[in-house]
Amino acid sequence: MSNGNLDDILKEIRENGGEKEAGEKLRKQLNADQTKRLNEVLGDRKKLEELLSTDRAKELFKKLTGDKNG
């Protein structure tokens, strides 16, 4: 999945509040291995916390919230 697709999904969430629809759109773009890995991370609190603490995750949250400063 390219960053362009992710940016489109984040834009959709910000503009339309369509979290469920955006989540479904994201899942449809994942292959079977990516879906399996996503489900493993979402089902494991420690893995999820590790993922959310990464710089990339923080960058995505900033894009999602429209936060330009921090």
Inter-axis angle of helices 55-65 and 3-16, nearest 10: 40
> Other C-beta atoms within 10 Å of 32: how many?
7
**What is the full per-residue pLDDT of the chain (70 aa) written as tens digits?**
455 566 776 676 667 666 676 677 777 888 899 889 888 888 899 988 998 899 998 888 887 777 766 5
The pLDDT value recorded for residue 60 is 82
The pLDDT value recorded for residue 24 is 75
Provide the token pair at 64.
């999602």
Indicate whether 46 belongs to any domain. yes
This prediction has a pTM of 0.50
The pLDDT value recorded for residue 55 is 93
Indicate whether 57 belongs to any domain. yes
The pLDDT value recorded for residue 33 is 94
Indicate whether 56 belongs to any domain. yes
**Pairwise CA distance, residues 70 & 63, whole Å:** 10
Domain that holds residue 49: 3-65
